[in-house]
Structure 1
């Protein structure tokens, strides 16, 4: 059975479907600095060398980037066109991971978003992405 990660006070489960629901639960916290997302990790999130798998990190990052793009697009659907991720440090099972994102530029149909991820004070990853606003809500 996976070990428990201590979730900081005030974090709540975010309502998400699909992959992040399977990986998560995805947690969220809103304060004066804005919305942050979190993941309480355990051994299920680890790779073969005992660190949090890069796929978990990039999935969480993509979710956070997409949320910020969706919010900036007045809740219209967006899809990730391109995402660059830079891993800065490794996380271990039991770490609580936090991620935030911000739109740095927007056009009528595209959003340019940056995100950062930490565990405590330790930077884990940074990402930049381009997301397309889906016309008419059709993601095809």
Structure 2
């Protein structure tokens, strides 16, 4: 499938807004919230790909980093910065495919959070990631 102007997200996904310039440039990204948590998604385009015609590893890692950060925010209501992220590339995502993922915090202390993310195309796993995030206590939500 070639690059298209229609991102055609699956039912239930809405356009994500309020992202920084880097993430907005890489998108558009979509999200939905379910009883089990949240899911982010993106329609893979040619601009997301490397010279082999598959999604660039850096794009996958940036997408996973956003998932991990979202999980930390949802669990702690605190802005956090990535300290470390490990990624395992499991398969490729190609132009036209719907790539989605989710993440969860596995442990949080007062100063750091540990989390895991999974990216997939349909039932096919594409990337697994784990991360450590520094919680920025002065930016904790007052809500």
Length-normalised TM-score, structure 2: 0.90
Residue correspondences, number: 136
Give ranges in structure 1 of 5+ residues lacking alignment: none
Among candidates 18, 21, 25, match of residue 18 of structure 1: 21
After superposition, what is the alpha-carbon deviation per residue over 1:48-86, rounded to whole angstroms, capped at 9, x for unaligned? 010011111000000010011112122x21000000000
Shift of 1:14: 1.1
C-alpha RMSD of matched pairs (Å): 1.4
Structure showing the higher strand proportion among its residues: 2
User: 1:68 aligns to what?
Assistant: 71
Say whether the 8 Å CA contact 1:5–1:95 is kept in structure 2: no
C-alpha distance in structure 1 between counterparts of 2:8 and 2:79, whole Å: 33
Give ranges in structure 2 of 5+ residues lacking alignment: none
C-alpha distance in structure 1 between counterparts of 2:103 and 2:74, whole Å: 11
Among candidates 70, 81, 84, match of residue 82 of structure 1: 84
Length-normalised TM-score, structure 1: 0.92
User: 2:3 aligns to what?
Assistant: 2
C-alpha distance in structure 1 between counterparts of 2:128 and 2:53, whole Å: 21
Task: State the 4+ residue runs in structure 1 displaced beyond 3 angstroms.
Answer: none
Say whether the 8 Å CA contact 2:73–2:80 is kept in structure 1: yes
Among candidates 27, 44, 47, match of residue 47 of structure 2: 44
Say whether the 8 Å CA contact 1:100–1:115 is kept in structure 2: yes
C-alpha distance in structure 1 between counterparts of 2:14 and 2:104, whole Å: 21
